[in-house]
Chain A
Amino acid sequence: MTSKAGATCGATCGALIALSALLVGGCFQEDLPEENLEGTVVVPSTIAGDSRDIGLVYLGVYEGYDDQQLGYPYPTTGPRVGDNPIGDALPYGGTSVGSYTYACFQALRCNILTGRYIDLQSILEAHPVEHADGESVEVEELYDQCQWYYGWNSIEEFSFIGAEQLDFEANDDGDWEATFNVIHSRLPHGSRIWAFVDSDFTSCTEDDGSINRRRSEDGLFFREGTNFADVLNFPDKYITPGDLLSSDPATVVDGERSGYRVVVDHVKE
């Protein structure tokens, strides 16, 4: 049964929905200048023999390139302000290949990246963990710890391991290559795509990131660790000897929004 009021509402609501559709189509022309950019990052196999050894890759789109200011490959910077030793690199946009992840033990904070490990065994091979009594943590213990900490019930749920999760693959030259996507960035003609690899986790802070997810049970307060917020603005704060830098940044060309290739080939002394 349909009441008269209901019928009236139906007609009114239909008109409102039609008007809303008109509004969405006709009133919101954002014309944003930001676009997406795709490409690959290449790390020569002569520098990294194992893809697990490739640290977190930071990649930004910058105004220009300048290898003179600091004596090593670096983006151009804006004006120096206050006590900052150099200016803000003012990236138009950027991204990373991999991210810091909490691998269930505090001892692994700021040591484990997504996209680098195929299984738990490979994590413990690269970063052995010991109990307080000196005994090594076994794979089963790491699994149990993660199951408890995250509530995961099968190995497929482990978000930071798996063959499909790996960022880098060996290309035809035998070098390590990973795709990147810079989302929603200004991409002016002539701007440079520069990248660096933080090989020793300097860009990670253990005092930030998510709070212990099991705090209500274990009574501990700690944070899981994450990257500092200004890495793309002030890379010099985090570049240390052994890090890898791009000495020939790719140049953005008008109308080309994919196919870029950034080689990270310079080892910071």
Chain B
Amino acid sequence: MRPLPTIACALALVACDLDAEPLLQNYGQGGVAGADVVDLDRSEDPPELDGDTFIGRVGPSDIGRGDHSGATATFTGTGGRVCLIIDPQSVWRDDKWIDESGSEQNNPFMQDYPYDDGDVDLQAGLAAYYTGSPGETMGDFINSFPDENGVERRVDLNTCLLEDRWGIVGSAAGRGTPEWCSFETVADTQYRIAITVFSVPTDDNELKYAFELRDGDCPVQVDECSLRGDYDEHENVDLPEGFDNVEEMYCRGPADPPER
């Protein structure tokens, strides 16, 4: 019996315990909520190949304990390329808008308001490789195999590869910014799309997103205005020039204000 080391180890374990609460998205929102995992395959109007823009909502992730919110959807491979585009709420910079020439300019009427923005990460791959449980827990496409030397190797089978500015895959877009990818599919084979929440708007703890699944390759340019609908209506906020949401204000800009 060695009481001192035993007690010391117990103390050390307590000392290393992490108070994850300050890391939570929903900190200060009246307690800790569980992750919000949505199975879109069970929704009344799930996203479809070449269907309308799908507008979804997801709750916050508990980053501190690795408990992620998100949504999953399944589609059948076409035998050709498919394109996935997602645009999280709402716009990266509220103090910018698009002018007549299509260039981003300063919006003199606005200050940036980051509290209505969020960030999701897009992944996809063969449904058989997905490690989560739709509607229960979010997962990824990281699997493992024993190599010829008997070493267990980690392999990421996510086929929705996003390149960074140096052309290296594995990147992700940030707050309020769209992500997209395209990849070849095998016909009549089930693929899973995983939309994992990184952060949600802190003003209401809920993220709205626009998503499209398209047949074929992605457009050469995808930007904030490619998909629409990823915004909250702020009834108590007066926006300039008669706009009633920040996304429309950004995309239509000073050249095309709504009629008053």
Contact = CB atoms under 8 A, between A and B. Distances in A.
B151 A230 contact: no
A265 interface: no
Interface residues of A, number: 29
A14 to B, nearest CB: 13
Q: Chain B contact residues (Cβ within 8 angstroms of A): what range?
A: 20 to 34
Decide if the interface of chain A is mainly helix, strand, loop or mixed. Answer: loop
A22 B166 CA distance: 48
Given A79-B155, A81-B156, A191 B169 contact: no
A186 B161 contact: no
B160 interface: yes
A16 to B, nearest CB: 9
B169 A84 contact: yes
B151 A27 contact: no
Given A79-B157, A81-B159, A84-B161, A191 B149 contact: yes
B154 to A, nearest CB: 8
Contacts of A13: none
Contacts of B145: 78
Nearest to B160: A82
Contacts of B12: 23, 27
B183 interface: yes
B63 to A, nearest CB: 24
Interface in A61-97: 63-64, 76, 78-79, 81-84, 88, 90, 92
A63 B148 CA distance: 7
B166 A205 contact: yes
A22 B8 contact: yes
Contacts of A207: 165-166
A178 B145 CA distance: 35
22 contacts: A19-B4, A19-B8, A22-B5, A23-B12, A27-B5, A63-B151, A78-B145, A79-B157, A81-B157, A81-B159, A82-B159, A82-B169, A82-B183, A83-B184, A84-B169, A88-B155, A90-B147, A188-B150, A228-B166, A228-B168, A229-B166, A229-B168
A228 B151 CA distance: 26
A23 B145 CA distance: 36
Contacts of B169: 82, 84
B153 interface: yes
Interface string B61-79: 0000000000000000000
Contacts of A190: 148-149
Contacts of A78: 145, 153, 155
A83 B181 CA distance: 10
Q: Which 8 A-B pairs have the closest CB atoms?
A: A188-B149, A82-B159, A19-B8, A82-B161, A63-B147, A82-B183, A22-B5, A188-B151
Interface string B174-206: 000000000110000000000000000000000
